Amino acid sequence: MKIGEIVFKRYPLFLAPMEGVTDAPFRLACKRCGADMVFSEFISSDGLIRDAVKSVRKLGFNEEERPFGVQIFGNNVAPMVEAAVYAERYQPDVIDINFGCPVKKVASKGAGSGIMNDIPKMVAITDAVVKAVRTPVTVKTRLGYDSEHRDIVEIAERLQDVGIQALTIHGRLRTTKWSEPADWTLIGAVKNNPRMTIPVIGNGDVVDAASAKFFIDNYGVDALMIGRATYGNPWIFTEIHEYLENGVLLSPPTVQQRVEVAKTHLVDSLKIKDEYYAVIEMRKHWSLYFKGFPDFKQFKLRLMEVKTVSEVFGILDEIYTFYSYLL
């Protein structure tokens, strides 16, 4: 499988771009555990044009993260073109257009999946961005706007025709709730459409090695993109690769592995954030790294209160000692 000049091994695994989650430290954790490609948090085209600090900061990445994609979103041609040109200065490997975000504040403005009820505009934006940059352009989208407009087969053909080099499809509609299972039948229809020649990447409900194999075997996608199942679980990439390539189901990561990755995650955060914010922002990860550990609340409460790295490391060392004997 290729995107532009990037050559991937068979059945690559991509980390989905997720706002508030896939910052550089988290991307590095996933990359070191086997993610074949990672993406920025999604970035507002208007924010880049205004040179907003928060938006521009999201463009930064470590060379270790390559291949790396920048994902932008917006609802008008000119700002999206300007944002793509701006993003290209940072030399990402891919510029990805977000036509899939269902969040109300994005979709209600006609961006993300909110643009899926205007296919000509989707195509016009994509066409203009492709023509404006030399970097390969990809798209992430959904099956359609609602149950009456499951248009992904048509959308896929039209986006391919204007020059995108890969398409990621999330198996839900703009109106589908997360509690409802992803529908892969239309993802398979796109992949098996004889008109399609670009890679088709499937996304939605890939939660472990078994589900990954099921979706590949039954729908024939070229790659998988994994989102929420990576929370506190960067090892999912290692586990899926091992199962797809060797048929081996790995044991869950040990408490030592979890503590080591959690520490490295915090150290990487310190490289781009001051100590206070690095420690505070790590709070959302602790319960996820140690999900399912009995009596973890005693440690979580302390981790949610401390404000220095040394205090965090001290508690992580206690976690290692406590669970090494308990588990």
Taken in order 112, 135, 127, 172, the sign of the CA dihedral is negative
41-90 pLDDT, tens per residue? 999 999 999 989 999 999 999 999 999 999 999 999 999 999 999 999 99
Confidence of residue 194 (pLDDT cuts 50, 70, 90): very high
- The answer on pLDDT for 201 being more than 60 is yes
Helix residue ranges per DSSP H, the chain: 24-32, 45-49, 53-57, 77-88, 104-107, 119-132, 152-161, 185-191, 209-219, 236-246, 255-270, 275-281, 283-289, 297-303, 309-326
Q: Give the H/E segment covering residue 138.
A: strand 137-142
Confidence of residue 108 (pLDDT cuts 50, 70, 90): confident
88: number of Cβ within 10 Å: 16
* 30 carries an active-site annotation: no
Q: What is the pLDDT of residue 177?
A: 75
299-325 pLDDT, tens per residue? 999 999 999 999 999 999 999 999 997
214-270 pLDDT, tens per residue? 999 999 999 999 999 999 999 999 999 999 999 999 999 999 999 999 999 999 999
pTM value is 0.95
8-32 pLDDT, tens per residue? 999 999 999 999 899 999 999 999 9
Q: How many whole angstroms from its chain centre is CA 55?
A: 17
126-149 pLDDT, tens per residue? 999 999 999 999 999 999 998 898
Tokens of 267: 């150290």
Q: What is the pLDDT of residue 320?
A: 97
As a whole number of angstroms, the distance between CA 241 and CA 247 comes to: 9
173-193 pLDDT, tens per residue? 998 877 789 999 999 999 999
Domains of the chain: 2-246 (3.20.20.70), 255-326 (1.10.1200)
Task: Scan for tokens 């085209």, then name that residue.
Answer: 45
Q: What is the pLDDT of residue 104?
A: 86
- The answer on pLDDT for 327 being more than 70 is no
Q: Say which amino acid occupies 221.
A: V
- Choose the catalytic residue: 24, 87, 97, 101: 101
Q: What is the pLDDT of residue 326?
A: 67
Q: What is the pLDDT of residue 133?
A: 98
Residues 282-297, mean pLDDT to the nearest whole number: 94
